[in-house]
Amino acid sequence: MVFYGTALLAGCLFAGLAIGQIIGSAFGIESDIGGVGIAMLLLIGTTTWLSRRGRWAPTCAPGVQYWGDIYIPIVVAMAASQNVRGALVGGGLALAAGIASVALAFGTVALLIRRFGREAS
């Protein structure tokens, strides 16, 4: 059953990367845009959907859990392979985009906590 969880993860990854390529093509970029993130959202949605319908066997979870445990090191390795020198040379826009995205994420979390934080307690 561990293999079923891993197979589900692989299917979500392939679908996410394909969607990321389509989004990249739509913006005229010959690269994947957000494919791994889309894959993780698909995996979360799929496992939730299967669980609610009673079709997600607890024995499938270790296959997904294993890859979830090594997800962070994979992302770190992917980030390390990026062109850091190019980002530093052309840094102004990259720095502004990074600061803006972090500020937007913090603001979104604050809004969600204000909206839903009291209900969850």
Domain count, the chain: 2
Do 27 and 2 lie in one domain? The reply is: yes
Q: Are residues 26 and 60 in the same domain?
A: yes
Q: Which one is predicted more confidently, 50 or 83?
A: 50
Q: What is the pLDDT of residues 54-95, one digit of tens each?
A: 888 777 778 777 777 777 677 666 666 666 666 666 667 777
Out of 27-36, 43-52, 102-111, give the one with best mean pLDDT: 102-111
Q: Is the pTM of this model over 0.95?
A: no
Q: How far is it, in rounded angstroms, from Cα 74 to Cα 40? A: 13
The C-alpha atoms of residue 90 and residue 82 are separated, in whole angstroms, by 14
Rg (CA), the chain: 18
Q: Tokens 């299967």, residue?
A: 50
Residues 50 and 93 in one domain: no
Contact at 8 Å (CB) between 63 and 9? yes
